Structure 1
Amino acid sequence: MENPVVIRNREQLIFMLSEAATLEHMVMCQYLYASFALKRNTSEGVSEDQLAAVRRWDKVITEVAEQEMLHLSLVNNLLISIGAAPYFGRPNFPLQSRYFPSRVRLVLMPLDEVALRHFLYLERPETMAIEDVPGFVREGMQASGGEIVPESQEFATIGQLYRGVEEGINFLAENYGEKEVFIGSQESQATAEHFGWKKLIAVKDLASAKAAIDTIVTEGEGARGDWRDAHFGKFVQILNEFLEIKKADPQFSPSRPALAAFTRLPGDAEIAELIDDEMTAKVSDLFNASYEVLLQVLSRFFLQVETSHEELSKLSGASIRLMVTVIKPLGTLLTTMPIGPHRPGLTAGPSFEMFRMSYLLPRSQAAWIVLHERALELTGFCSELARAPNAPKMLLAVEKALGNVVKMFEQSSTQT
């Protein structure tokens, strides 16, 4: 029997919810990467029937990634409800350190049998015994046993983590009273009004906290419902289809040969692929800088200090526009570009690089100025890049999209 996740004070609860936010964030990036690297037409070595299957899988994986964003939003609502700040931090990929428990490994990779089996392992129900693929298992971590300092705890499944969080919330409510636990602002949380997810609810009490956790677990591994409709069941179906096509055509590969790569080695990554192609490196930098702005926008939205209803709508709209018209096109483009002569035949992939800085912009007026300034810089960088010799045509569309983001930030940045 697995050791339970034990939470006995608010500090431990904030720590484990921050760990949950990190996990949801990184799992979402994994799924986005798999989607970006999928082949898009028959010229890439797939038949019409195979391409139809790949497109079906892309739709499912994209929907799952969107649900991970919903889960990340719900976790941040939980954090805010207990008086903490929203959390969008995480380590860089590939995760080789002891950041998570030994059974949780997170790596960016194209969709294939190994990736699918790893996804199934991450999303598996608590009662289902599945081993991770070789090379993804590390030694267990040791807890110091102290109760005053929060520390990571072993959990075998995502569901076990959230079960521990729920039991911790119950414990605090029983010992301190429900009102003393939920001391945060309900108005400072994300809801369906701004992002369109019907299940994105504000957390204000024990009942709404349980509802938020239930949504996360049910959509993920289906531990409290039918797993066939959960992420686990969806990946089972994709794997079965993949194996059937692979049996008929052993050469079938649904993905481009993309390696997640950096333009420079980040300080917290022990090993990483590096890009050695100038144009690819610049597109990668543009992707990561745009991703940085997306995290700033989301952090600002969840903080909601000195922010009007109109500004909240603008922030939520900007986050969606950045994801759909900038991040996705650039991520997909990178998987078609060479990583460099040292890796012949392989393409690059987005690294979702995190920089050593806070993404939280606490003051409203300053936040709009920073966002507008940064969006202008990205637009200028993209414009120059798009007009370089042999530049991908996709960059012109991204330039236009970034210009639209500039306009969204412009008016708010000039208000006093």
Structure 2
Amino acid sequence: MSEAPIVIENRKELTYLLSEAAELEHGLMCEYLYAAFSLKREAGPGVSDSQLEAVERWRRVLLDVAAQEMLHWALVNNILTAVGSAPYVSRPHLPHQAKGYPAGVQVALVPFGERALRHFLFLERPEGMELADGEGFDPSGPALPIMSERDLVPWGQEFSTVGHLYRSIEAGLTRLAEKHGEDGLFIGPPQAQATAFWPELLAIVGLATAGRAIELIVEQGEGARGNWGEAHYGRFLAVLDEYRTLREADPTFDPAHPVTAAGVRPVEGFEPDVRITDPATAAVSDLFNVVYDLILQMIVRYFAAAEETEDQRGALAYAFVVLMVVVIKPLGLLLATLPVGPAHASATAGANFQLAYRGNFLLPHGRVAFIRFRERLDEAAAFADGIDATPEARSVLDAAAATLRSLSEGLSGHIEAL
């Protein structure tokens, strides 16, 4: 199946499509984390002791793929900064089904199961492969306008696979390097490049490194040309096959909590399909999203840092990694067990990754940013202390509050040096 060509004739359209790629990687990461958090952690109704081993293995696959999506997100932001743009961490609102992409590309929070896995396979499928999306993910919305080489205003263009989008971006980089020269295209400051956390996270300094970054993204997602066994597509296919085998052997097998993409309140005019009305669940959901928002602000500051030393950038990096692993993950797992409220007695909440806004997350001044980060960490810790929760939830919240305070104290030593 051939896909329509994507036109990239100027830097603005290039950065528009790179930003679209960044928000798509961000959305996929949220999808995979939501599904991972939805899996049960103990044997009980729907999961036997012997089945639990497979469930934990699937969770590890989802978390590993989500981590690779974050690597892809970071690589795209390195390319963005290399060509003279700002890092991009926004995305369409969730838990609402995200719009704004080509009609066949949809992002939504779905609990682990066959529907979710078929949706993941559709999103990660190799370029040119015909495959149906998961149930309920029918193409919606009009086709995007066709761009010509003479158009100046940027807009989204049609793509069917993530690989097609990235191959087109790679071709656009080559085209613009011919037009401006490599030095004229890659004008971003070298110190803005992120190279921590993953050995594959390379600094983008020209066409060669940009090409290597895009090749890695495509290979990890859909696989090297025709070889997808160890790529995201192949790994999800293996999980689906094993899941179907276990379900056929035991029709009562039900590895996921009954999570629903519920929200506490409307945001920017978007009304959640399901409202969280349980007070404790609503508070935990708010805490999760406050920490998530803070992580995004820290990541943007890390990429945009112009005043910070390497030690200060390292402190920022340490803070947002700890927040992801030690705070976000336990809160996400907890939310999958908490009730939505009396109107949805059989449903649990899940981590909805709700953003309070889609605007710019950048705090542009170094010292101010560190003060704001510390202030927000302290506010989040105090909020966690005040949540009236069960003993099991309280242990998670107490650990989160202790981590938030520890990170706040760690950042305090860097404020006066800025």
TM-score band, normalised by the shorter chain? over 0.9
Structure 2 counterpart of 1:62, one-letter code? L
Question: What residue is the counterpart of 2:188 in the other structure?
Answer: 184
Q: Deviations over 1:53-112 (max 9, x none)?
A: 001111111100000000000000000000001000111114546411111111111110
Mapping 1:3-402, distance limit 5 Å: 3-96=4-97, 98-136=99-137, 137-143=139-145, 145=147, 147-191=151-195, 194-195=196-197, 197-224=198-225, 226-269=227-270, 271-356=272-357, 357-385=359-387, 392-402=394-404
Distance (Å, rounded) in 1 between the aligned partners of 2:389 and 2:232? 42
Structure 1 counterpart of 2:162, one-letter code? I
Per-residue deviation, 1:389: 8.4
Query: Which stretches of structure 1, 4 residues or more, deviate above 4 A after TM superposition?
Result: 386-391
Secondary structure of residue in 1 paired with 2:92: coil
For normalisation by structure 2, the TM-score amounts to 0.95
Instruction: Name the Cα RMSD after superposition.
Output: 1.6
Say which is worse superposed, 202-211 or 137-146, in terms of deviation: 137-146
- Contact 2:33/2:66 (<8 A) preserved: yes
Distance (Å, rounded) in 2 between the aligned partners of 1:47 and 1:98? 39
Distance (Å, rounded) in 2 between the aligned partners of 1:389 and 1:30? 29
Query: Closer, same or farther in 2 for the Cα pair 1:268/1:232, shift >3 Å?
Result: farther
Distance (Å, rounded) in 1 between the aligned partners of 2:31 and 2:389? 31
Query: Closer, same or farther in 2 for the Cα pair 1:295/1:97, shift >3 Å?
Result: closer
Q: Deviations over 1:131-178 (max 9, x none)?
A: 112321214423164611100111000000001100100100112211
Distance (Å, rounded) in 2 between the aligned partners of 1:400 and 1:269? 33
- Contact 1:260/1:273 (<8 A) preserved: yes
Q: Percent identity?
A: 44
Query: Closer, same or farther in 2 for the Cα pair 1:391/1:198, shift >3 Å?
Result: closer
Query: Closer, same or farther in 2 for the Cα pair 1:366/1:257, shift >3 Å?
Result: same
Return 5+ residue gaps in structure 1 as ranges: none
- Contact 2:221/2:231 (<8 A) preserved: yes
Distance (Å, rounded) in 2 between the aligned partners of 1:15 and 1:73? 16
- Contact 2:293/2:355 (<8 A) preserved: yes
Q: Deviations over 1:97-129 (max 9, x none)?
A: 641111111111111000000000000001321
Report the number of matched residues: 413
Question: What residue is the counterpart of 1:405 in the other structure?
Answer: 407
Structure 2 counterpart of 1:59, one-letter code? R
